[in-house]
């Protein structure tokens, strides 16, 4: 499921098959009133030389390399879906084909609209799948929680092609959350708090996430006066 989720978030599933050095970033800036700004980014820039080759070749190891137009259609579908979600405004995409960096960004008014928007995008890009229903983020009093609503199974990861598994060991997923107040405590020991104590960053290999040996889950206690 994690791979499915990742691929959907990235919207560039096919491109991921051909690149190992890539990073997916979930970057959210929260405001005091519960609104905020989210950026989902797929960064393939470290694989740029190889990606240039692949795009020229059009087919690698029997797999069809997606055309620019196909990737752009996927991202446009994600943009439209997010923009149609109640509570979302200023939704846009950025496609940097020179460096292979792609992003989807938008402003949300409430936590509910964020959860709803993320699920809708993932569902739409996964051909209308109904599995994306859980909450990714919750707030309760002074506690923010990043959840993992999916059932990630290591045996599914083991079924992936050998070279894809090798590649995913080098790929990373990063989450960055910025808060209007200081972070007091974080339950995930791998998450790092910034020196100014208002931001939290966690980076994990995608293979480890897919196998379930590490998690993005985190309970963050905020310094609310």
Partner 1 sequence: MKRSVQILLSLALILCSIGQLTAQKAQKYLPSSPDLVIGVHPAALNKKVPLEKLKATRGWEETVQLISLFVKGGDSTLYKKMFSDPSSFGLNTMEGMWWYRESIGDTMLYRLVIPLVDKSKLETQLAATLEEQSDLFDWNSSPDQGVLEITDSEWILAWNKEVLLFSNATISINWYDYYQQTNLPDVAVDSAVTGVDDVMIVPEEGEEEMSDEMIVPDEESDIEVDVAIDSEDVEAQVVKEENKLGLNPVAWPLDTTTTYVSPIFTPIEDNYDGTYTRYDSLETANKAKALAFNRDQTTALLAANGYQRALNNPHYLTLLQQTPDVSLFMDYEKFYGLQGKFGPAARLPLGGMDHGMDTYMSFVSSLSSITQSMYRGAALTASMNFNNGEVVADMRIHLNEKMKAWNKRTYKTSLSTKLLKYLRGDRSVAFMGFAFHPENAWKVFREVMESAPPSSKSPGDFMFLLDALVDEKAISKIWSGECLAAITGIQSVPKTVTTYEYDEDFNQKEVVKEVIQKIPEFTLAMTHKDMDTWKRIMQLGIKYDGLEPMGVNAWKLKGDGSSALTDLYFGLTEDAVLISNARDLVENKRNTGYTGRLAYNAEQKKLLKGHNMVMYLNPSQFAELMLSYFNADGSESAQADLERIYNTMDYMLISDEKSKEKTTSSMRVKFRDPQKNSLLQFMEYLGILSDMRSKNEM
Q: Which residues bind partner 1 (CB under 8 A)?
A: 19-21, 27, 41, 43, 45-50, 52-53, 98-99, 101, 154-155, 157-159, 162-163, 165-167, 169-170, 174, 176, 178, 194-196, 198-201, 211
Minimum separation from the CB atom of position 142 to partner 1 (A): 21
What phi, psi does 108 have (nearest 5°)?
Answer: -115, 150
| Nearer CB in complex with partner 1: 46/70 | 46
Helices (H), 84-153: 111-125
Helices (H), the chain: 2-10, 13-16, 48-57, 68-83, 111-125, 154-158, 162-170, 206-211
| Nearer CB in complex with partner 1: 74/178 | 178
| Nearer CB in complex with partner 1: 140/155 | 155
Q: Which of 156, 114, 129, 142 is nearest to 221 (CA)?
A: 142
Minimum separation from the CB atom of position 88 to partner 1 (A): 21
Q: Which of 136, 142, 100, 132 is nearest to 216 (CA)?
A: 136
* CB distance 106 to 91 below 8 Å: yes
| Nearer CB in complex with partner 1: 14/112 | 14
Minimum separation from the CB atom of position 160 to partner 1 (A): 9
| Nearer CB in complex with partner 1: 30/132 | 30
* CB distance 185 to 164 below 8 Å: no
Minimum separation from the CB atom of position 10 to partner 1 (A): 15
Per-residue tokens: 193: 């708090």
Place of tokens 């690698």: 60
Minimum separation from the CB atom of position 163 to partner 1 (A): 5
Minimum separation from the CB atom of position 43 to partner 1 (A): 6
| Nearer CB in complex with partner 1: 60/83 | 60
For 106, 114, 185, the CA distances from 39, given in Å and listed in that order, are 7, 12, 24
């Amino acid at each position: 499921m994690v791979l499915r989720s990742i691929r959907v978030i990235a919207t560039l599933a096919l491109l991921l098959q051909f690149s190992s050095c890539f990073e997916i970033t979930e970057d959210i800036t929260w405001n005091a009133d519960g609104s905020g700004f989210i950026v989902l980014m797929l960064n393939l820039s470290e694989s740029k030389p190889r990606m240039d080759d692949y795009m020229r070749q059009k087919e690698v190891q029997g797999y069809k390399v997606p055309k620019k137009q196909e990737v752009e259609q996927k991202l446009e579908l994600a943009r439209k879906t997010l923009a149609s979600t109640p509570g979302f405004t200023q939704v846009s995409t950025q496609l940097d084909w020179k460096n292979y960096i792609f992003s989807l960004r938008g402003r949300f008014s409430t936590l509910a609209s964020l959860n709803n928007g993320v699920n809708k995008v993932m569902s739409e890009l996964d051909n209308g799948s109904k599995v994306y229903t859980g909450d990714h983020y919750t707030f309760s009093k002074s506690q923010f929680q990043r959840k993992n609503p999916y059932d990630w199974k290591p045996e599914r990861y083991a079924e992936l092609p050998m070279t894809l598994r090798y590649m995913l060991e080098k790929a990373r997923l990063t989450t960055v959350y910025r808060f209007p107040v200081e972070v007091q405590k974080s339950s995930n020991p791998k998450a790092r708090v910034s020196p100014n104590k208002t931001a939290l960053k966690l980076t994990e290999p995608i293979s480890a996430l897919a196998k379930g040996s590490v998690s993005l889950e985190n309970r963050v206690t905020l310094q609310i006066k």
